[in-house]
Amino acid sequence: MFDDPEQLAHAAAAKFVEYAKESHERYCVSLAGGNTPRRVYELLATEPYSAEIDWSRVHLFFGDERAVPPAHPDSNYAMVAEALISKVSIPPANVHRIPAERGAYESATAYEDHLREFFAGQTWPRFDLVLLGMGEDGHTASLFPGSEALEETSRWVVATRNVQTATDRITLTLPVFNEAKHVMFLVVGKKKAQRLKEALRPKPEADLLPAQAIKPTNGTLEWLVDADAASLLPQS
């Protein structure tokens, strides 16, 4: 647990660097959208973090995206491009954005084809690091409560929809996230406190939240949370 979001962001940036150094040849990361990860990306573009990373080995992917053009203000890619990509010496070919301007279904198919080519020969892609957030409803990436996408067992990327905002989305699937070497949740704020408590201290009769379905099969799972988000958790 961290005192505030800024402390959490620095810890996440440090872990990004740590995992980059332990990877061999290429370092494949699945990025999350949202305000909390944005601060992590801003830090990674500055000293001392940026200088500790060999950006030529880094490959950036996206865990989910809204079905909007890459310059749209709601685009996760646009946010990451502004906060990080435009400020570091990463080769353009190492940035693997979701072609969301094609529409949810077509872009999901195109992104899966791209991932299967990049991770050729693998049953599932093996990311070195997956960054995730958690919504107030317990969703993560664009995997929402009650979504059919949660039942997917063969596809790597699917189209989905946020019913609350009536927006089409593209998301990696649970088996993809669960094959990662490291998965790191970033959760901040009092608005997330109740759902975080439910996610980490579930009641036997409660429905499974999408965030709870993230269970790496052969990797680590870390929850980086600030004091506000953790305010309803038992204090030890």
pLDDT tens for residues 24-70?
899 999 999 988 999 999 999 999 999 999 999 999 999 999 999 99
| Number of domains the chain contains | 1
Largest separation between any pair of C-alpha atoms in the chain: 50
User: In the block, which residue shows the tokens 């009650």?
Assistant: 146
207 found inside a domain: yes
113 found inside a domain: yes
213 found inside a domain: yes
Q: For 104, which DSSP code?
A: H
| CATH of residue 201 | 3.40.50.1360
pTM exceeds 0.85: yes
97-141 pLDDT, tens digit each: 999 999 999 999 999 999 999 999 999 999 999 999 999 999 999
230 found inside a domain: no
Q: Which two tokens stand for residue 78?
A: 């646009």
Amino acid identity of residue 2, one-letter, is F
235 found inside a domain: no
Tell me what the mean pLDDT of segment 20-25 comes to.
93
236 found inside a domain: no
Taking alpha carbons only, the member of 41, 35, 30 closest to residue 5 is 35
Domain containing residue 152: 5-225
203 found inside a domain: yes
